[in-house]
């Protein structure tokens, strides 16, 4: 289906609610340590130009200290920033006439960024609102047309175009052919996040409840059988080397083969600091296997300067990707120009952005004749249910074989939801979830993977029918 054949829809109604959940153990990343989180859940009604309509849904964590890491802002300030971004987006979308789902997104892009900037909100915060609205609209579109997310993307039902003036680097690229080549996967590997205060062995202080779920890294290795891990660097050389050595001891002893990614969490002001960390790591025999197993290094340099400073000195040692710096549609091409090879996919930044970045990677690698550039699947504490399912559907369709997944570890499954809601999700997605006796519905991780076949439901991967309040 080409752009001209994509359905024209408009946002007719929107309802928003928030949910709160306590973490079963603290999660520290960068400068933040979380003990409880909130989630925005958006339900929309669309009206099509031909008189049809449908309801769709999306959800995303209202996470502090990631979108904006300004230490002068409180966690409540950060959450309010995201609420403002979403409110601005809903106002802009509601004022638009009917257009393709992607056309709606492209129409508000510049104004969303401008209005958010006028209120002191950075581009990453600005992207949060449209990211939710776009997913809810596409979910409604799929339910209206009785098409799955994979079917919609492969047929370009969203009407994605590279001639909108927002992606000049893709001019002439056959986006329809690229989308049609995508194939949904039945499983995907789980890349377990090792938080900066997580217990590694039974000898470490434990802060989690006696709920039978893994608490230590040793527990995770034994229980989930993960083959991929994401490790955090905190910017303190001695502390980082000590903790990485302790992590390596657990991973080296616990599994025949593993791969890791190293997250710099914007802890460095220049490339020299992270190069020195990697040099020191490479010199330590206790870290030799961990270094050899490292796939790439994620966003080590603060976003304020990350796209202004060459990273070739690091990229020559290990591939480097951006995450927090991926705040605008032109961020990845800028990153490539200073030596980055990869970019993260997170549904909180927008699934159209992930798709367009995947197209850029396909185009660049084809022209080079080698797989130099890459897309990585990263988490933002997605909760079991809507946000986890939509993220998994996206990254598995884009061809990624593993995804950072941490919500199932720090949250006790769907304990935030009533029993009947949990039962509905379990019935719709029996491969993705399980319910142990006496516990809530939880993500089913086996042999380091999750199963995804049930995500091929009409709409955006949520086999539960949303209802407008």
Using CB atoms within 10 Å of the CB of residue 96, give its burial: 0 to 12 exposed, 13 to 18 middle, 19+ buried.
middle
Per-residue pLDDT reduced to its tens digit, 165-224: 899 999 999 999 999 999 999 999 999 999 888 999 999 999 888 888 999 999 999 999
Phi, psi at 281, each rounded to 5°: -60, -45
Conformation bin of residue 378: beta by default, left when phi > 0, alpha when psi is -120 to 50: beta
* pLDDT value of residue 209: 87
**187-455: CATH class:** alpha beta
* pLDDT value of residue 237: 96
Query: Hey, where are the domains in the chain?
Result: 3-163, 187-455
pLDDT classification of 4: cutoffs 50, 70, 90: low
Angle, CA 77 vertex, CA 75 and CA 81 arms, to 5°: 115
Work out the percent of the chain whose per-residue pLDDT is above 90: 91
SS3 of 263, please? Answer: strand
* pLDDT exceeds cutoff 80 at 164: no
For residue 150, the tally of other CB atoms under 10 A from its CB is 20
pLDDT classification of 109: cutoffs 50, 70, 90: very high
* pLDDT exceeds cutoff 80 at 322: yes
* pLDDT value of residue 75: 94
pLDDT averaged over every residue in the chain: 95
* pLDDT exceeds cutoff 70 at 2: no
28 versus 124: the higher-pLDDT residue is 124
Secondary element (H or E) of residue 21 = strand 9-29
Per-residue pLDDT reduced to its tens digit, 286-319: 999 999 999 999 999 999 999 999 999 999 999 9
For residue 173, the tally of other CB atoms under 10 A from its CB is 18
* pLDDT value of residue 26: 87
Cβ(362)–Cβ(332) under 8 Å? Answer: no
Same fold, 3-163 and 187-455: no
* pLDDT exceeds cutoff 90 at 84: yes
* pLDDT exceeds cutoff 80 at 255: no
Distance of alpha carbon 432 from alpha carbon 411, whole angstroms? 16
Decide which of 3.40.50.800, 3.40.640.10, 3.10.129.10, 3.30.390.10 is the CATH code for 3-163: 3.30.390.10
Torsion angle, alpha carbons of 351, 357, 363, 364, to 10: -160
């Amino acid at each position: 289906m080409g752009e001209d054949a994509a359905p024209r829809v408009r946002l007719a109604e929107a309802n928003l609610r928030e949910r709160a959940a306590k973490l079963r153990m603290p999660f520290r990343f960068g400068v933040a340590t979380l003990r409880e989180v909130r989630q925005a859940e958006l339900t929309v009604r669309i009206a099509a130009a031909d008189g049809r309509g449908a309801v769709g849904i999306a959800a995303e964590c209202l996470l502090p200290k990631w979108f904006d890491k300004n230490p002068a802002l409180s966690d409540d300030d950060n959450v309010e920033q995201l609420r403002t971004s979403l409110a601005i987006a809903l106002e802009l979308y509601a004022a638009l006439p009917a257009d393709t789902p992607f056309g709606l997104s492209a129409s508000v892009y510049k104004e969303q960024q401008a209005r958010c900037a006028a209120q002191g909100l950075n581009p990453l915060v600005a992207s949060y609102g449209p990211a939710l609205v776009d997913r809810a609209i596409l979910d409604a579109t799929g339910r209206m047309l009785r098409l799955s997310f994979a079917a919609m993307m492969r047929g370009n039902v969203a009407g994605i175009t590279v001639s909108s003036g927002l992606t000049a680097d893709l001019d002439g690229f056959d986006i329809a052919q690229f989308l049609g080549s995508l194939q949904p996967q039945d499983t995907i590997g789980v890349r377990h996040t090792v938080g900066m205060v997580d217990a590694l062995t039974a000898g470490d202080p434990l802060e989690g409840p006696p709920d039978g779920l893994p608490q230590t890294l040793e527990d995770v290795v034994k229980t989930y059988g993960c083959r991929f891990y994401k490790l955090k660097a905190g910017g303190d050389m001695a502390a980082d080397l000590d903790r990485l050595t302790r992590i390596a001891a657990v991973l080296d002893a616990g599994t025949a083969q593993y791969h890791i990614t190293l997250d710099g969490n914007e802890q460095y002001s220049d490339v020299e600091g992270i190069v020195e960390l990697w040099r020191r790591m490479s010199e330590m025999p206790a870290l030799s296997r961990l270094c050899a197993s490292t796939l790439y290094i994620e966003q080590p340099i603060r976003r304020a300067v990350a796209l202004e400073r060459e990273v070739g000195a690091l990229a020559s040692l290990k591939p480097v990707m951006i995450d927090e710096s991926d705040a605008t549609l032109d961020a990845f091409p800028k990153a490539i120009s200073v030596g980055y090879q990869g970019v993260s996919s997170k549904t909180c930044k927008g699934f159209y952005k992930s798709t367009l970045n995947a197209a850029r990677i396909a185009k660049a690698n084809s022209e080079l004749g080698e797989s130099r550039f890459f897309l990585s699947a990263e988490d933002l504490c997605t909760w079991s249910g809507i946000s986890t399912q939509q993220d998994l559907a996206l990254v598995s369709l884009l061809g990624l074989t593993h995804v950072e997944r941490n919500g199932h570890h720090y949250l006790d499954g769907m304990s935030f939801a009533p029993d009947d809601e949990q039962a509905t999700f379990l019935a719709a997605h029996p491969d993705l979830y399980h319910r142990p006796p006496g516990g809530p519905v939880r993500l089913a991780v086996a042999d380091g993977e999750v199963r995804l076949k049930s995500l091929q439901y009409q709409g955006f991967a949520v086999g539960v029918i949303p209802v407008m309040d």
